[in-house]
Structure 1
C-alpha cells in the first residue's frame, strides 16, 4: 500500500476568493477524485485550526493499492486540472509518498 500525503500553504486570496474559500474548493476538487482512479483506497482532506507560523493550511491524506494507482492518480486529467488551478492558489507545497 502507498500512502500519499500533501500539505499546502495557501495565498490569502486567489481567483477572487479568500484563503478559506479556496481551501474549501480544493477539498471539493480533491474529494471529487473518488471513484475515478482504480486503486484509490482512501482520500481525505483537512484544514489546520492552529494557525501557527509553521502550520500548513490544507492537508491531503490518501492511500493507494500500489505505485501504479498513485501514478494513475497523478496523471489523471482531473488531477492535472487541480494542479494548474493550485498554481495560483498555493505558495508552498510539501509531499511525502511512502510504502507500507
Structure 2
C-alpha cells in the first residue's frame, strides 16, 4: 500500500477569486478525481476547520494499492487538468509518499 499525502496553502486573491472561493474550488476539483483509476483505496480531501490546529488550508490524504496505481492517477488527464489552476492559487505545497 502506498500513502500519498499532499497539503496546500492557498494565496489570498489569486486567480481573481477570494482565498475561500479558491479553497472550495480546489477541493471540488480534487474530489472529482476520487475514482479516476483502479487502485485508489482511499481518497479523502479536507479543508482547515475553525477551532482545530491547522497550518495548511487543504489536504489530500490518499492510499493506492501500489506505485503503479499512483503513477496512473498522477498521469491521468483529469488530474493533469487541475494542475494549472492549482499552480495559480497555491502559495505552498507539501507532499509525502510512503509505503506501508
The answer to whether TM tops 0.5 is yes
Secondary structure at the aligned position of 2:35 is classed as coil
Paired with 1:35 and 1:55, the residues of 2 have a C-alpha distance of 28
**Aligned position for 2:34:** 34
Secondary structure at the aligned position of 1:15 is classed as helix
Per-residue deviation, 1:48:
1.5
**Aligned position for 1:4:** 4
Q: Unpaired segments of 5 or more residues in structure 1?
A: none
Secondary structure at the aligned position of 1:7 is classed as strand
What is the RMSD computed on CA atoms of the aligned residues?
1.8
**Aligned position for 1:20:** 20
- Cα deviation, 1:59-98, whole Å, max 9, x if unaligned, reads 1101101000000111111111111111111011000000
Secondary structure at the aligned position of 2:83 is classed as helix
Secondary structure at the aligned position of 1:82 is classed as helix
The answer to whether structure 1 residue 62 and structure 2 residue 62 are counterparts is yes
Paired with 2:35 and 2:59, the residues of 1 have a C-alpha distance of 20
